[in-house]
Amino acid sequence: MKKINSLFALCFLAYSLNAMSMEVSFEEDHSVPLVYVSVSIKSGVVADPAKKLGLTNFLGDMMVRGTKTKTKEQIDLALDQMGAQLNAIIGTEVLTFRGSVLKSQLEPFLKLFGEILTSPSFPEKEIKKLKAETISAISEELSHDAGLASRRFARFLFGSHPYGNPLIGVEKHVDSFTTNDLLSHYRSVMQPERILVLGTGDSQKATLEAWAESLTPRLLDNAKHGAPLPLSAPPIPVANNKGLRVLLVDKPDRTQAQIFIGQFGLKMNEPRYFPLYAANHAFGGGSFQSTLMREVRVKRGWSYGANSAFRFGLQPRSWHVYLFPASKDAPQAAKLALDLVRDLHDKGVTEADFESSKKSLINGSGFNYNTAKKRTENRMTEKNLGLPEGFFRSYASELQKVSLDAANSAMRSFVDPDNLAIVVLGTASSLKEPLAKALDISPRQIAVVPYQQE
Amino acid sequence: MKITGPKTLALTAITFLAMGGCSSAPRMEVHTDARSEAKDAFPSKPGHQVLPITLSNSHGAQSSLQVHRFDFENGLRLLVIEDHTSPTFAYQTWFRVGSRNEVPTRTGLAHLFEHMMFKATKNFKEGEFDRILEEEGAMGLNAFTSQDYTAYVQELPKDSLETLVKLESDRMVNLVVDEAAFKTEREVVQNERRFRTENSPDGTLNQELYELAFSKHPYHWPVIGYKEDLENMSYTDASNFYRRYYKPASATIIISGDVDPNQTYEMIKKYYGGLQNQTVAETSGPVEDLTLIRETPPKSPQRKTLKLNLQNEKILVSYPGPDIRSEDLPALNFISGILSAGKSSRLEKALVDSGLAQGVYASPPDAADPGIFVIGASLQRGKKATHLEGVLLAELERLKKEPISKREMEKVKNLMQFDFYEALNSNSERCRYLGEFESITRDFRFGMDLFRRTMEVTPEQVQLAAQKYFDPSTRTILVGVPK
């Protein structure tokens, strides 16, 4: 058995805390003359105020639309002139600015990037424009079935918990954002202890350290004036998620259905993470050999893809099965997927599937960290999810310890086939009755909502 | 045909010499000089040629990348790039066959066949290919089909090279095209088509645009094929397609990573060297080469509106363009950069900043046969494509009339330079970059040369290309509106 993780030479991901507790990591990579700089801020969707869903995403976008000395037009032009990119990316528990630039332009790039982080101006004109763009993007999501179904699944599973909130917000809230909302949220979010600076590429760590040091004094004022924000999502309420709950998102003229079946998940730092990770890989973790792919795609040709996956957060998020069969096959495919989840709980994965998955995961674990970019991303995830340093390098050794019994025992205690949330996006007029029949439930147990309804 | 050694063993070294520090972005220079041979630039076999292509600028060199090229007697080509930064490698097999090689009534066959390549062979039963490679630790085990090529890709730990070579060489000629497996996979592809086209407004519009822009050439039909054609396709069609197009002479293997070029060459020779090019069953008859067809540009503008299940209007505008080898292509590449690269690009400012669109792109032709220059935009809610169209067309007219400023030229060059380096920044990305040019032009160096020529484009060339290609009488406009 090969273990490429053990073959990796030492890499040079150096990290340190600067004076005001902003962590800086950098790994040199001189293969091409590019430098990547990311600034991640613990916040994300969970930091959105209750009546201001989408505010953190909006804040990130607005920060690159004007500073105290530069307009959006000047920022855009300057970045393009440098051959650089800078984007704010919203996540559930983190807001990340991802920058990349030609090495020769790193100095002016960092100067501009620093100004964007420390001196945004939130001009009214740009707020108005971004509102129109964001509201259009919200309606555009309705045209993409897979994304829409995924979003509805999160809402259906988590209800009013922040994990169920859409990343870019809802129209009514976005339309209400003001300059004051942004200023206030900026002060709360942009505090040094929330910020992690990571980089890789054709430069040195000292350059990034010096830059981070220069930002800190300018951000300290936020620490004095910003309202406190939680650093993680609240615990998940579980009381209402009992029984088989089915939501049919009704969209006309569909010849294909999107099906999500799932439940609450787990945290990556739980002891049962690796047993569950191995068992899930055998069941539906993206492999063509997995139970789901074999049963749904290879044997029956019902869906181009069929997989099961976890979503992780500071709180347990979700585990779900996803498939997208033709409408005509959707009821039977949903039933098959549900039966397979029950089998996973009752019987577990087979020894052959488990051993094959285990080999695959261990031998491929080096791909978790075989590039400088991946290693810096890992560092970011470790910090943001509270994982121990080197977590992603530990996969091979941790998986090596997992036995079939441990994997199946973990899955038996984790999967709850009697209390699942099922979301099907399709055309209700032709799907509802057959779906109810296939799942052996009354049609009244299937809630139907129009796809445009939030 | 028994292969005991390479017939014309060409070894090509590509050296990328990158920038040193400077306060402003320097102008990139690319030198191609096939005359200056440096036979001993690196360890090689007798008879190897070294054809250096150098990218450099006035600020000195920082990094280099060398591509070793081997041609085998049976027509197979091997490209190897050494990169020891991690004990892994990317391995891609590119076949010069795509939907352009199909015929009407059998559209989608190239892509459907791509699916079949993961089935049983004479030596391995169904599922074994995936299982063995996954157990080896394969990453990104996949394949893709375009109009011009089909590629099979994966990354693996370094000591899995021989296992992979054995499996890949086996499926190149030993596939068993089984009727039952074909029928199941055909249903999978029908479902993929529902996902990509039938239930996707963007997919539907894209398909419709090519149907309007091409009337005779195979680019007319979608790579994924038509529902009826897929339904009528048989495993015999697939079998004949395999024998016609899957052979060493149609393929290039590209490997980048922790490998030794000479040892890799020996391994490829061991497993592929003896492979013969397959012949087509006599009963299958000849296939008309529709790729020889040249479209006659439309004599008047074409326009169509589709009512779709979408919220915001969308627009696609296309003009007939040249093939990838055209001398005009660098200028058209540059125009796409002027129009849509970066947030300060002309269309971003005119369409997005102005509140008309959510996003916009401009895409130059990049195909083996004459293609189309496409501009696409998704509108903001409540905005009308007919209004956006006027603004967009005015920007194209501006390109014809006003020379581009030096500053804008420099900006676009910097953005393109960034994209170029990004395309070479990992094993799998650089295999893909080389593979596309190798498959379309039969020489990966074309990509480097195209980049060099794009960096040398002048404002006058931009203007002339805009005048030549953005001809209103040949324009196709497709609008998607909510039902």
Q: How confident is the model at residue A233 (pLDDT cuts 50, 70, 90)?
A: confident
pLDDT tens-digit map of B110-167: 999 999 999 999 999 999 999 999 999 999 999 999 999 999 999 999 999 999 999 9
Cβ–Cβ < 8 Å for A241, A157: yes
Q: Is B138 helix (H, G, I), strand (E, B) or coil?
A: coil
Identify the pLDDT of residue A218.
Answer: 86
Whether B50 has a pLDDT exceeding 90, the answer reads no
Q: How confident is the model at residue B63 (pLDDT cuts 50, 70, 90)?
A: low
Tell if the CB–CB gap between A362 and B138 is shorter than 8 Å: no
Count the helices and strands in chain B (H runs, E runs): 15, 14
Q: How confident is the model at residue A225 (pLDDT cuts 50, 70, 90)?
A: confident
d(CA A387, CA A377): 13
DSSP string, A293-351: IIIIIITT---S-EEEEEE--SS--EEEEEE--BGGGHHHHHHHHHHHHHHHHHT---H
CA-based nearest residue in chain B for residue A134 = B358
**Half-sphere exposure in the Cβ direction for B214 (13 Å, CA):** 22
Identify the pLDDT of residue A176.
Answer: 98
User: What's the whole-number mean pLDDT along residues A348-366?
Assistant: 97
DSSP string, B32-85: E-TT---TTSS---TT-----EEEE-TT-------EEEEE-TTS-EEEEEE-TT
Distances (CA, A) of B320 to A397, B15, B475: 57, 35, 8
The two structure tokens encoding residue B13: 């070294």
Distances (CA, A) of A29 to A103, B19, B65, B67, B409: 11, 14, 14, 20, 29
Nearest to B17 by CA among B65, B52, B51, B50: B65
Whether A153 has a pLDDT exceeding 80, the answer reads yes
Q: Does A28 touch chain B (CB under 8 A)?
A: no
DSSP A82: T
Q: How confident is the model at residue A222 (pLDDT cuts 50, 70, 90)?
A: confident
Whether A166 has a pLDDT exceeding 50, the answer reads yes
Across the interface, which of A80, A146, A359 has its CB nearest the CB of B135?
A: A359
Q: Check residues B457 and A160 and name the one with the higher pLDDT.
A: B457
Identify the pLDDT of residue B289.
Answer: 77
Tell if the CB–CB gap between B381 and A256 is shorter than 8 Å: no
User: What's the whole-number mean pLDDT along residues B301-314?
Assistant: 96
CB–CB contacts below 8 A, A to B: 228
Q: How confident is the model at residue B299 (pLDDT cuts 50, 70, 90)?
A: confident
d(CA B94, CA B99): 14
Identify the pLDDT of residue B64.
Answer: 67
Pick left, alpha or beta for residue B429 (phi over 0 → left; psi -120 to 50 → alpha; otherwise beta).
alpha
Average pLDDT, chain A: 92
pLDDT tens-digit map of A25-40: 999 998 889 999 999 9
pLDDT tens-digit map of B184-205: 999 999 999 999 999 999 999 9
d(CA B167, CA A298): 20
d(CA B416, CA B334): 9
Q: Which helix (H) or strand (E) holds B144?
A: strand B139-145
- Mutation site for B-interface testing, chosen from A298, A299, A332 by largest number of B Cβ within 10 Å: A298
Tell if the CB–CB gap between A302 and B187 is shorter than 8 Å: yes
Cβ–Cβ < 8 Å for B416, B371: no
pLDDT tens-digit map of B413-446: 999 999 999 999 899 999 999 999 999 999 999 9
Which residues, in sequence order, are bridge partners of residue B476?
Answer: B302, B318
Q: Does A144 touch chain B (CB under 8 A)?
A: yes
d(CA A355, CA B134): 12
d(CA A204, CA A35): 10
Q: How confident is the model at residue B284 (pLDDT cuts 50, 70, 90)?
A: low
Tell if the CB–CB gap between A366 and B137 is shorter than 8 Å: yes
Q: Computed from CA positions of residues B3, B82, B256, A32, in that sequence, does the dihedral angle turn out positive or negative?
A: negative
Q: Which chain A residues are within 8 Å of B90, Cβ to Cβ?
A: none
User: What's the whole-number mean pLDDT along residues A302-330?
Assistant: 96
Cβ–Cβ < 8 Å for A308, A285: yes
CA-based nearest residue in chain A for residue B406 = A81
Nearest to B344 by CA among A68, A78, A134: A78
**Half-sphere exposure in the Cβ direction for A130 (13 Å, CA):** 27
Cβ–Cβ < 8 Å for B430, B256: yes
Tell if the CB–CB gap between B414 and A83 is shorter than 8 Å: yes
pLDDT tens-digit map of A251-287: 999 999 999 999 999 999 999 999 999 999 999 998 8
Q: Which chain B residues are within 8 Å of A140, Cβ to Cβ?
A: 311-312, 358, 378
Identify the pLDDT of residue B461.
Answer: 98
Question: What is the identity of the amino acid at A314?
Answer: L
ipTM of the complex: 0.91
Cα Rg of chain A, angstroms: 23
Tell if the CB–CB gap between B418 and A139 is shorter than 8 Å: no
Q: Does A378 touch chain B (CB under 8 A)?
A: no
Whether A434 has a pLDDT exceeding 60, the answer reads yes
Q: How confident is the model at residue A51 (pLDDT cuts 50, 70, 90)?
A: very high
d(CA A354, CA A364): 15
DSSP string, B247-304: SGGGEEEEEEES--HHHHHHHHHHHHTTPPPP---GGG-----GGG--PPPPSS-EEE
Question: Dmax over Cα atoms in chain B, in whole Å?
Answer: 68
Cβ atoms < 10 Å from Cβ of B125: 11
**From A12-26, A207-221, B14-28, B126-140, the region with the lowest mean pLDDT:** B14-28
User: What's the whole-number mean pLDDT along residues B250-255?
Assistant: 97
Q: Check residues A230 and B242 and name the one with the higher pLDDT.
A: B242
DSSP string, A131-146: HHHHHHHHHHGGG-HH
Q: Is A18 helix (H, G, I), strand (E, B) or coil?
A: coil
Distance from CA of B70 to the nearest CA of A (A): 24
Across the interface, which of B87, B185, B202 has its CB nearest the CB of A301?
A: B185
Distance from CA of A41 to the nearest CA of B (A): 24
pLDDT tens-digit map of B217-236: 999 999 999 999 999 999 99
Tell me the pairing of strands A23-28 and B476-482: unpaired
Q: How confident is the model at residue B280 (pLDDT cuts 50, 70, 90)?
A: low
Question: Dmax over Cα atoms in chain A, in whole Å?
Answer: 66
d(CA A74, CA A81): 10
pLDDT tens-digit map of B395-412: 999 999 999 999 999 999
Identify the pLDDT of residue B295.
Answer: 79
d(CA B20, CA A104): 7
How buried is residue A119: exposed, middle or buried, by Cβ count under 10 Å (0-12/13-18/19+)?
middle
Residue in the structure block whose two tokens are 């739980």: A270
Distance from CA of A317 to the nearest CA of B (A): 26
Identify the pLDDT of residue B290.
Answer: 77
pLDDT tens-digit map of A90-146: 999 999 999 999 999 999 999 999 999 999 999 999 999 999 999 999 999 999 999
d(CA A343, CA A163): 28
User: What's the whole-number mean pLDDT along residues A389-413?
Assistant: 97
CA-based nearest residue in chain A for residue B482 = A143
Whether A86 has a pLDDT exceeding 60, the answer reads yes
Q: Does A332 touch chain B (CB under 8 A)?
A: no
Distances (CA, A) of A20 to A379, B94, B482: 19, 52, 53
Whether A313 has a pLDDT exceeding 90, the answer reads yes
Average pLDDT, chain B: 87
B76 Cβ contact partners less than 8 Å away, ≥ 6 residues apart: B248, B249, B251, B252, B253, B268, B272, B275
* Percentage of the residues of chain B whose pLDDT score is greater than 90: 80
Question: What is the pTM (predicted TM-score) of this model?
Answer: 0.90
